[in-house]
Chain A
């Protein structure tokens, strides 16, 4: 093989590699994109049932409940216009609490309950996930 043909082969190989790699990257990106919905959108039926997404809002006061000794917890996420019930099994983050901001990742079940596999609480008193702040804008804040 002449050096020129060798080089051509290498270039072709690299190009093919880049092509395959970028196809994989965009597949990975579109598969792992997590959409965010607020409770109003979920109640309005805009959120998908077939794929996981994130929901965010405030944990309604008095809504956190669990069976004694069970890891399963139920609470309600609200944007003060509509509410969505959420279930989660496991250890909750430190800053989770009633009347506090929360973002949950999971799937919407057929009966309208959001089954979360991950719950994130807002980071501190000042910080709120931007989507939560956005979806609460204009809503009456008196309950907190």
Chain B
């Protein structure tokens, strides 16, 4: 009964989404207030029914209703309740439902928080959101219905993929999707502006906070995924340039470019058509990402849906969405463009370079991700593009971007006079280089180009980001939340850069064969293998090793890596043991029994790896601070004020 209720709720939600888009778009076109009035209640109703459908699926999981095919495939009565809820989005069908729920939530937020916006504009925004929602619901109902019954019902479920039975991965998809789907709002705002034929600075001010919030979630979501891959996959890497990871990283790059270009559009009224295009790109890449992962067309170690029949629908939907938006762009954007120029040395041009470099980075990753698909499609052989490609080409746009970031933060709008800043910034650069050299020699005993360049860039950006807020604090001047947020986010970039440089330059990864009683030395730490014991979990049995880690005879930590066998899927899982530190992580994973009582053991020394995720979290926090800026909450008031009254705010 409950699954049928969920199915019905989803169908009703689809009807409401169609109503929302038809009445919203048509009402705005013919200026019918009564039609436009339908859009908001339709959004609310859609949210209620989608939430109901989602709740029904979750209830089926909690009740262990194995007569539902999806539940039977992804749950088990021995699975802890927490993971049973998380199993809702553990595979293709449920994660689509989650996508729809997140979109409904964003739509509801837009409908509720946009009272100050012109009625036709918001009707169009909701109309576009309704179209996207209707597309996804049709896809789910037609090809991937999570409520399909299984006849006869299964006695017991197949259990959730053990890799997904983990805290970080249970919250990773909702957060990542909140980011992905959030770009739908920016996309809808862009489409509405083009339909409206009007794009001014207040448009950018409405769009900015939504985009920043979406970007924040995406940042945290990607960081969580990377952290999960690090400790759960048992390889100890933090980024594999896997197509699934690339799929989430490309929208992030486009979204980051969008945030910066929106700043120019808001403050100076420039880059208008470019901003629109970026909003389209960011969402298109999100869609592509969702589908690339979900359709299983990619050769990837963690794509878990493989059904080519869905591909046709996906391709059609992508073409309609992206093609429609680009057609609209080609038709309307020329009218919305800006003609004012700007000086070469100005914040505008720094942000232009930022945009160009970020888009190049996204394009290079897209090339590497899709190239195997093209080759395969054209029957030119099966290939895959390896991580060395991504590592090499990603640095091409990123190094100049980091270099420009340090200066660009201090450039003012229209025309920057960097003369009086040249001295301090150059001095900062030299100091950063000296510290980088000294610190790497002192801490690691040797230095590499990568470490030197990375540490210098990171330290310099940190210095540059802190300069302005600290100077204002010293002079007891006020600091707007937007400027503070920007400084914090860029500080995060510096921290992240230092982390990446530290890990990539100084990591030590060693696979060794050890018997109980033997020990191995990695990175100045001694790992003594004490022995093994058996451990019983709720739905798994495990063999647990004990490693006593010491440094120069001083105890550091006792680590307990596990090799788990999940009872239902009988697949082994490596649970690495990690000791976390400000300067380094130590990572121990059990491999296989090598015959006798010897085991293969993976031991890794990962200096500064925590700063990678810390940097990402700081970036996201910067976004949060920037969004809290007062001017976003008083759109109406500032709209009445003459444009440019806030133009001195460098944000």
Contacts and interface: CB of A to CB of B under 8 A. Distances in A.
A68 B572 contact: no
Contacts of A94: 234, 571-574
A92 B600 CA distance: 9
23 contacts: A10-B344, A21-B396, A25-B367, A28-B389, A29-B389, A32-B388, A34-B384, A34-B385, A34-B386, A66-B595, A69-B594, A69-B596, A70-B594, A92-B591, A94-B572, A120-B301, A123-B304, A124-B569, A124-B571, A125-B571, A127-B296, A127-B303, A127-B306
B364 interface: yes
Given A10-B344, A127-B304, A91 B381 contact: no
B412 interface: no
Leading 6 A-B pairs by shortest Cβ distance:
A91-B591, A68-B595, A32-B389, A36-B382, A69-B598, A90-B511
Interface residues of B, number: 47
Contacts of A71: 511-513, 594, 600
Interface core residue of B303, B367, B383, B573 (most chain A CB under 10 Å): B383
Interface string A1-45: 000001100100000000001001100110111111000000000
Given A36-B384, A123-B302, A127-B304, A29 B511 contact: no
Contacts of B396: 21, 24-25
Contacts of A6: 344
Nearest to A67: B595
Contacts of B371: 29, 33
Contacts of B511: 71, 89-91
A113 interface: no
Contact of A91 (B163, B386, B589, B598): B589
A130 to B, nearest CB: 6
Given A25-B364, A124-B569, A91 B299 contact: no
A124 B161 contact: yes
A81 interface: no
Interface string A101-128: 0000100000000000000100111111
A91 B602 contact: yes
Given A28-B388, A94-B234, A95-B572, A66 B393 contact: no
B1 interface: no
A69 to B, nearest CB: 4
B393 A24 contact: yes
B600 A91 contact: yes
B368 interface: yes
A95 B306 contact: no
Interface in B225-256: 234
Contacts of A95: 571-572
A16 B381 CA distance: 33
Given A25-B393, A71-B600, A127-B306, A66 B569 contact: no
A130 B307 CA distance: 11
A129 interface: yes
B592 interface: yes
B631 interface: no
A69 B515 contact: yes
Given A95-B571, A126-B304, 18 more contacts: A21-B396, A24-B392, A29-B368, A29-B393, A31-B389, A32-B386, A33-B371, A33-B384, A34-B385, A36-B382, A66-B595, A90-B591, A91-B600, A92-B592, A95-B572, A123-B304, A124-B161, A124-B163
A128 B306 CA distance: 9
Nearest to B360: A21
